[in-house]
């Protein structure tokens, strides 16, 4: 028996080296390609290839299915603490603009191109939803965001979220979104944070939308549009919760009405008077997001003024 075993081992040892090594390079190439395509860890890619019998397409399909299943389950796990890092994304088109907040667990992930692509996809989906909806203002909850159809194939945003979670290895969430429309006017936007500005979706840790109009009919001039951007910057900096009226007197340090707050560039003058004295820019409504804050259930706001 021992002689037979030694003979078998000896025969294997004398086999040409190419017979033992020829299968290794293709497997390694497939592993590298699958990792590059999906961004999944090496061990998970190896498991996918083993399950698929080495077929790259089947392995990629299995990884996507697992990412959807496991990633989405992690997102809705009961009792899981809310992820508070992430980004606010702002996108405008014509007389409308949309703003979204997508959260992750670390700012490292928020800085990755894949996470930022998810924020951009969400912003585009919300703006598309806005264009087909009625009204001038609307807020979307997480469950509403998840059901938006996005991308070239019209997949659910929740599916893209699950895939991103599988690839990035962190729990992500679609926190909230909103849009403003300004018929006869424009929506000024502003974002603040560490993300370099780059069209078309602006991103940061703070964002604001302000529905504005000029003193008369017709498109407002460039200087009023720039003034609108400064109002959006004011909204980010001073965090008002109500609109107020252009006739409001200057409030104190705790003033929460936008038009009664001291103008950011001239604190001794209420913002309503500041705008009236500089061309008559009208402010109809606004929306402000701060990444990681606890969104109010019913955001307090005055009824928007009627566009001129």
Average pLDDT, the chain: 84
pLDDT at 300 over 70: no
Residue 21 pLDDT > 80: no
- Band (66; pLDDT cuts 50, 70, 90): confident
Distance CA 32, CA 42 (A): 8
For 85-290, CATH gives 3.30.479.20
Return the pLDDT at 224. 92
CA distances to 77, 241, 258, 300 from 250, rounded to whole Å, are: 47, 16, 10, 20
CATH 1.10.8.10 applies to domain 18-75: yes
Long-range contacts at 72-76 (CB < 8 A, ≥ 24 apart): 72/158, 72/161, 72/162, 72/165, 74/165, 74/171, 75/161, 75/162, 75/165, 75/171, 75/172, 75/173
Find the mean pLDDT for residues 251-256. Answer: 94
pLDDT at 80 over 50: yes
Do residues 272 and 259 make contact, with C-beta atoms less than 8 angstroms apart?
yes
**Which of the two residues, 69 and 271, has the higher pLDDT score?**
271
Instruction: Quickly state the pLDDT bin for 305 (edges 50, 70, 90).
Output: very low
pLDDT at 77: 59
Sign of CA dihedral 229, 233, 234, 235: positive
* pLDDT of 93 over the 70 cut: yes
**23-60 pLDDT per residue, tens:** 343 478 888 788 777 767 778 888 888 899 888 889 88
Tell me the C-alpha distance between 85 and 87, whole Å: 7
Backbone angles phi, psi at 140, to 5 degrees: -115, 135
> What is the distance between the alpha carbons of residues 111 and 94, in angstroms, rounded to a whole number?
29
Query: pLDDT tens, 94-122?
Result: 999 999 999 999 999 999 999 999 999 99
68 pLDDT more than 80: no
Q: What is the pLDDT of residue 24?
A: 40
Give 192-204 pLDDT, tens digit per residue.
998 887 779 999 9
With bands split at pLDDT 50, 70 and 90, how would you rate the model's confidence at 187? very high
Residue 221: its pLDDT value, please? Answer: 87
* 195-251 residue pLDDT tens: 887 779 999 999 999 999 988 877 788 999 999 999 999 999 999 999 999 999 999
Hey, do 18-75 and 85-290 end up sharing a CATH topology, with the first three levels equal? Answer: no
Structural domain boundaries of the chain? 18-75, 85-290
Compare 75 and 161 and report the one with higher pLDDT.
161
- As a whole-number percent, the residues of the chain with pLDDT over 90 amount to 55
- pLDDT of 255 strictly over 90: yes
Gap between the Cα atoms of 175 and 231, Å rounded: 25
> Quick one: average pLDDT of 120-147?
93
């Amino acid at each position: 028996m021992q002689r037979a075993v030694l003979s078998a081992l000896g025969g294997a040892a004398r086999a040409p080296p190419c017979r033992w090594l020829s299968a290794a390079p293709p497997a390694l190439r497939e592993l590298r390609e699958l990792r590059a395509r999906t961004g999944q860890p090496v061990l998970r890619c190896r498991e996918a290839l083993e399950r698929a019998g080495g077929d790259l397409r089947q392995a990629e399909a299995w990884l996507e299915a697992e990412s959807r299943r496991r990633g989405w389950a992690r997102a809705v796990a009961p009792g899981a603490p809310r992820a508070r890092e992430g980004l606010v994304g702002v996108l405008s088109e014509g007389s409308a603009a949309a703003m979204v907040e997508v959260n992750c667990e670390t700012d490292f992930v928020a800085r990755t191109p894949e996470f930022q692509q998810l924020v951009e996809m969400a912003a585009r989906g919300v703006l598309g939803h806005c264009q087909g909806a009625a009204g001038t203002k609307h807020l979307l909850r997480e469950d509403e965001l998840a059901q938006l159809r996005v991308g070239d194939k019209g997949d659910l945003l929740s599916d893209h979220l699950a895939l991103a979670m599988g690839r990035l290895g962190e729990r992500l969430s679609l926190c909230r979104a909103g849009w403003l429309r300004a018929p006869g006017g424009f929506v000024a936007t502003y974002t603040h944070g560490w993300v370099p500005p780059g069209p078309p979706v602006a991103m940061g840790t703070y964002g604001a939308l302000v529905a504005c109009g000029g003193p008369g009919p017709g498109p407002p001039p460039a200087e009023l549009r720039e003034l609108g951007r400064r109002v959006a910057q004011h909204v980010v900096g001073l965090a008002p919760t109500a609109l107020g009226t252009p006739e409001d007197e200057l409030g104190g340090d705790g003033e929460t009405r936008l038009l009664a707050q001291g103008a950011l560039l001239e604190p001794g003058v209420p913002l309503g008077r500041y705008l009236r004295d500089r061309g008559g820019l009208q402010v109809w409504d606004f929306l402000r997001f701060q990444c990681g804050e606890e969104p109010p259930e019913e955001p307090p706001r005055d009824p928007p003024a009627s566009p001129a």
